[in-house]
Amino acid sequence: MKKANELKKLRRENRALRRSIRDLEQHGAPAAPVERTSDAAAFDASNYFSYLLARLRQKSLFARAEKITRYFRSSIWVTRLFRYGMLIYQYLQAGAFVLLYTALFILIIPIVLSLSLATLIVTLILRKKNADRLIAACTERGADVRFLLFSTKEDFDPAAIRAEAEKTPKASVLVVSPFFFRPRGFGEREDMYVCWRDEGENAVILRKYFFFYLRRRMRHAEYFSITETVLEQPKEDTETPC
């Protein structure tokens, strides 16, 4: 009986609490005061930018972002991802250099071709006049004409050319340059030339594309005694002693 009375008492108290809750919900309860974070500590900053940073750190969004950043920095997989990203960046950078060099190469080719074509056109225009002048100079010197040729650019040795020209002081020595644009010669002059250039004494230097036209003109003249000499650098003996 005693337990039954206690149970009835608890039920009455429970019903009373429910009625109180309904009354509060119907009439509305006052809102709980919201605590605001004081920004007094932010004013302790040494400058305005530090103050703004301190205020920003008080924001929940910034705090969450900072926690996420700390988590990522402490993760091993992020380190690996960064490492692989750097490798990919290096490969992309190398590819960018290849593309740059390719673009420069594509731009240089038309320029070189244009210069070569312009040089050949100028030679075609000026070759007759230059050939007439050179043939007249060779005629005054005599009928002997020597052409010095080179198989490669490495065979072009100024000292050897001068020594070869001194062997025949009465002949006209015409040195065919192996270079298309370079003004390199075997004398003291270094100025640019298109067809030929006087190197002093009995020797001149001329371009290879002008050489064929000049030789054809000299052969048709039936006056000159033409000889051709190919100069080559002496090859080193690579045989090993027994």
Annotated domain spans of the chain:
127-231
Q: Report which DSSP code applies to 206.
A: E
Q: Which of 11-15, 50-54, 207-211 has the lowest mean pLDDT?
A: 50-54
Closest by Cα among 190, 107, 185, 194 to 148: 185
Does this model's pTM top 0.85? My answer is: no
pLDDT > 90 in the chain, percent: 12
Do 178 and 156 touch, CB atoms closer than 8 A?
yes
Whole-number Å distance between alpha carbons of 54 and 136: 93
Whole-angstrom distance, CA of residue 30 vs CA of residue 34? 12
Tell me what the mean pLDDT of segment 172-183 comes to: 89
pLDDT at site 110: 76
* Per-residue pLDDT, 98: 67
Residue-level pLDDT at 231: 87
**Which tokens sit at 48?**
């305005």
Beta bridge mates, 230: 149
Q: Across residues 34-41, what is the average pLDDT?
A: 47
Regarding predicted confidence, which is higher, 151 or 7?
A: 151
